[in-house]
Amino acid sequence: MINSVRNTVLSILNKNNYGYISPADFNLYAKQAQLDIFEDYFYQYNYQLNKENVGTSGTGYADITKGYEEVINIFSETKFLAHQFNNKFFTPSPITTNDNYYLLNKVLAYTRLLASGVNSAVTPGQLDDLVSADFVADGVQVGDIVANTTTGQVAFVGQVINSQELELINEDGTVADIFTASPEGYAIYDDAIVNEAEKVTQSKITMLNNSMLTAPSTLFPAYTQQEPLLTLFPASINTVGAVQCQYIRYPFDPKWTYVNLVGGEPAFDQSQPDFQDFELSISDEPTLVLKILQYAGMSIREVAAVQFGQALEAKEDQDEK
Amino acid sequence: MPYISQYQYYENGGNQPENANWGSYQYVSLYDIVNNFMLMYSGNHSLVNNEERYKVLFHAKRGIQELNYDAFKEIKILQLTVCNTLRYVLPSDYVNWVRISMHKDGLLFPLTENIQTNWSSAYLQDNDCRILFDHTGEALSPQYSELDFDRITGGEKSIYLNSNSPFDGMMGYCCDGYWYFDYRIGARYGLNTETANANPTFSIDKKAGVINFSSHVANESIVLEYVSDGMENGDISSITVNKLFEEYIYAYIEYAILNSKKGVQEYIVARARKRKSALLRNAKIRISNIHPGRLLMNMRGKDKWLK
């Protein structure tokens, strides 16, 4: 989509030889435009919900809310959070989860520890505890969560080979090689016993913890947020693999890439390792073009291009109400 | 909470305790209630929206507590032997008593709450009746007040017609090992029915957390029937509600939240209140289990002649 957007923008801009924008400038404007549209999804979603509540929204093909949910879900990620110490876990970040989060939608706590210990041998794609484990008696089953408490990596049980060996897989079913040395600690959580932790403000958490009736428990856990950490309550939620987060990440920065100049023009090449297309839905392409056009118009001091972009975007907004 | 197999129900899947799931189908857990409420009664298109889960949890627990006090009719019973101190420490989850009986000779003798006090605290006093203090300025107390001492040692007289009654030892007649008195010679004209009970009596010291018994209860077995608040000593996973009250609890939570929320129209609050009250009435009628089969034995006595 990014090449199509760029070509359209250049086509409009170059009309009457108004000007030209470089790939680097285009990438900057593209990032701003994408973020602008991305954030607008949430306001539009809320607007549509309010319309539903007053009965001015339809169902089926007229269910606009559903469409917004779908595009927002493009950016949904569900990942285990990296553990700092005690009951503190890192929020998603490029270092821990390879992305930045826009909002934390749901924090899940796995509270039933089935087994823990240290591995006694290293077999690729397996957890081997030949000394003290009895995974069968502990009730370990396919799908349970296995965390390497030494390295912080997490995988799932793909197969219970025997009472002392487990085959590990990643979420996509590929072999998970998270135990590469011995001894390394492990913790196995029951994937069926999961409860949603509730976000509680810093101003309430002390009173909540002191409350007889509403103190956080493993059935009703809670968390507070103080960047870059989440603090889980009760404090017994304190191991890697115990906390999973579903969040909406920011879209990756778009990057229009090229290899060389052909006839003075950079030739589009999407095979470059740093290539990144827009992540928005195709229906947002016109809005992207119009927004980039406004930034580019300002850049080349062409008021007509800016006004053209603004007028069309305003009309589009109006049509979508 | 998922449905369980018959094997899980009857034998707990081979685990201990075997009776863990017996009767469990009558109840819905607190966890399910909060979860269902958040799912069904809270959200973008519901009256309750943007409310914290801990508030729902709070109101759910409060509702369950209130139901436990009377509507549930779920009585806990604890039997303990009372020693020479004539003291029965209240159970850890005690809220209020229903009935206190003495288990003796294979029979339960219902005891009467003493309309007078039978316990007291006391301070040490000198000959001028001045209170004695320790070096920190606190009043000195004896181990027992005079009242307690007399009761424990059997010297306290009772207005009840038991062995500590002032009438005890006076003229009367003995039948089947028990003494009966028609009146106190020369003075008594009628019976005070409120105190006409031969069984020992008790008085509850709520703050001290004990039931104090009159004399002659030492080494006897006492059965306390009481109500708790259903909080199961803080074990959230064990807190349950009878299914007959499930809908009421949802209605109660909804009402409690709407009632305390700013800007909610009064007619919505009133609607929620009426719904809650109606559901409570229905649930109380249902749980009282009034049906002909139950009334049959009582009704059989309707033609009995009163003499």
* Most confident by average pLDDT, A270-274, B212-216, B249-253, B288-292: B249-253
Q: Measured in whole angstroms, how far is the alpha carbon of residue B45 from the centre of its chain?
A: 41
Give the Cα separation of B80 and B89 in Å (integer): 9
- What rounded mean pLDDT belongs to chain B? 89
Q: Which residues of A touch B234 (CB under 8 A)?
A: 212
Say whether pLDDT at B144 is over 70: yes
Q: Which residues of A touch B55 (CB under 8 A)?
A: 214
pLDDT at B170: 67
- Of B261, B272, B225, B237, nearest to B51 (Cα)? B261
Taking the CA atoms of chain A, what radius of gyration do you get in angstroms?
Answer: 25
Q: Which residues of B touch A222 (CB under 8 A)?
A: 54
Using the beta-carbon criterion (under 8 Å), do B53 and A220 form an inter-chain contact? Answer: yes
Over residues A266-321, the pLDDT tens digits come to 888 888 888 999 999 888 898 888 888 888 777 666 666 667 777 777 777 777 66
Using the beta-carbon criterion (under 8 Å), do A214 and B237 form an inter-chain contact? Answer: no
Using the beta-carbon criterion (under 8 Å), do A198 and B53 form an inter-chain contact? Answer: yes
Give the Cα separation of B176 and B251 in Å (integer): 57
Q: What is the mean pLDDT of residues A191-215?
A: 94
Does the ipTM exceed 0.90?
no
pLDDT at B300: 81
What confidence tier does B37 reach under pLDDT thresholds 50, 70, 90? very high
Using the beta-carbon criterion (under 8 Å), do A213 and B44 form an inter-chain contact? Answer: no
Of residues B55, B58, B237, nearest to A219 (C-beta): B237
Give the Cα separation of B200 and B205 in Å (integer): 17
Say whether pLDDT at B187 is over 60: no
Using the beta-carbon criterion (under 8 Å), do B54 and A220 form an inter-chain contact? Answer: yes
Say whether pLDDT at B175 is over 90: no
Give the Cα separation of A160 and B135 in Å (integer): 70
Give the Cα separation of A29 and A39 in Å (integer): 16
pLDDT at A17: 64
Give the Cα separation of A302 and A45 in Å (integer): 34
CA max distance for chain B: 81
Q: What is the mean pLDDT of residues B65-72?
A: 89
pLDDT at B62: 95
Place of tokens 């028990």: B178
Over residues B219-236, the pLDDT tens digits come to 999 999 999 999 988 899
> Any residues with CB less than 8 A from the CB of B115 and at least 6 apart, and which?
B159, B194, B195
Lowest mean pLDDT among A10-19, A174-183, B285-294: A10-19
Q: Which residues of B touch A219 (CB under 8 A)?
A: 31, 236-237
Tokens at A292, concatenated: 């980039």
Using the beta-carbon criterion (under 8 Å), do A217 and B236 form an inter-chain contact? Answer: yes
Q: What is the mean pLDDT of residues B297-301?
A: 79
Q: Is the bond preceding residue B2 a cis peptide, omega within 30 degrees?
A: no
Q: Does B93 touch chain A (CB under 8 A)?
A: no
pTM of the model: 0.85
Q: Which residues of B touch A211 (CB under 8 A)?
A: 58
Using the beta-carbon criterion (under 8 Å), do B58 and A49 form an inter-chain contact? Answer: no
Q: Which amino acid is at B277?
A: S
pLDDT at A283: 87
Q: Does B54 touch chain A (CB under 8 A)?
A: yes
Any idea how long chain A is?
321
Q: What is the mean pLDDT of residues B1-10?
A: 87
pLDDT more than 90, % of chain A: 61
Using the beta-carbon criterion (under 8 Å), do B236 and A49 form an inter-chain contact? Answer: no
Helices (H), chain B: 6-11, 30-40, 53-69, 146-153, 246-259, 266-288, 292-299
Which three-class secondary structure state does DSSP give residue A230? strand
Say whether pLDDT at A213 is over 70: yes
Using the beta-carbon criterion (under 8 Å), do B52 and A200 form an inter-chain contact? Answer: yes
Using the beta-carbon criterion (under 8 Å), do A220 and B44 form an inter-chain contact? Answer: no
Instruction: Kindly list the strands in the beta sheet with A126-128, ordered across the sheet, starting from the edge strand earlier in the chain.
Output: A113-118, A185-189, A145-148, A154-162, A165-169, A126-128
What confidence tier does A242 reach under pLDDT thresholds 50, 70, 90? very high
pLDDT at A59: 85
What confidence tier does A125 reach under pLDDT thresholds 50, 70, 90? very high
pLDDT at A54: 85
Q: Does B34 touch chain A (CB under 8 A)?
A: yes
Give the Cα separation of A151 and A82 in Å (integer): 10
Give the Cα separation of A146 and A186 in Å (integer): 7
Of residues A52, A53, A220, nearest to B57 (C-beta): A220
Using the beta-carbon criterion (under 8 Å), do A213 and B58 form an inter-chain contact? Answer: yes
- Nearest-CA distance from A153 to chain B in Å? 31
Q: Which amino acid is at A91?
A: T
Say whether pLDDT at B186 is over 60: no
- What rounded mean pLDDT belongs to chain A? 89
pLDDT at B207: 92
Over residues B8-23, the pLDDT tens digits come to 999 998 989 999 899 9
Q: What is the mean pLDDT of residues B287-303?
A: 82
Give residue ranges of A with CB < 8 Å to any B CB: 49, 52-53, 198, 200, 208, 211-214, 217, 219-220, 222
Q: Is the bond preceding residue A234 a cis peptide, omega within 30 degrees?
A: yes
